[in-house]
Amino acid sequence: MRKNWLITGASSGLGCGMTERLLARGDGVVATLRKPGALDSLCAQYGDRLHVVECDVTRVDTIRAAVAQAFTVMPRIDVVVSNAGYGLFGAAEELADEQIERQIATNLIGSMQLIRAVVPRLRDQGGGRIVQVSSEGGRISYPAFSAYHATKWGIEGFVEAVANEVAPFGIDFVIVEPGATRTNFGTGLDLAEPMEVYDATPVGDIRRALDAGYFEFADAAKTVDAMIATIDSESPPLRLALGKSAYESIRASLMKQIESLEAQKEIALSVMEDA
> d(Cα 177, Cα 190) in Å, to the nearest integer?
20
How many other CB atoms are found less than 10 A from the CB of residue 197? 12
Residue among 46, 82, 135, 152 flagged as catalytic: 152
| DSSP annotation of 91 | -
In whole angstroms, give the CA distance from residue 50 to residue 45.
9
Of the residues 11, 82, 111, 134, only one is catalytic, namely 134
Q: Which of 67, 70, 111, 83 has its CA nearest to residue 15?
A: 83
- Active-site residue flag, 222: no
Which of 3, 46, 135, 148 is catalytic? The answer is 148
The Cβ-side half-sphere exposure at 137, using a 13 Å CA radius, reads 22
Residue 148 known to be catalytic:
yes
Per the CB < 8 A criterion, the answer to whether 45 and 74 are in contact is: no
CA distance 167 to 59: 27
Concerning whether 134 is annotated as a catalytic residue, the answer is yes
What helix, strand, coil percent values describe the chain, rounded to 5?
A: 55, 15, 30
Catalytic site residues? 134, 148, 152
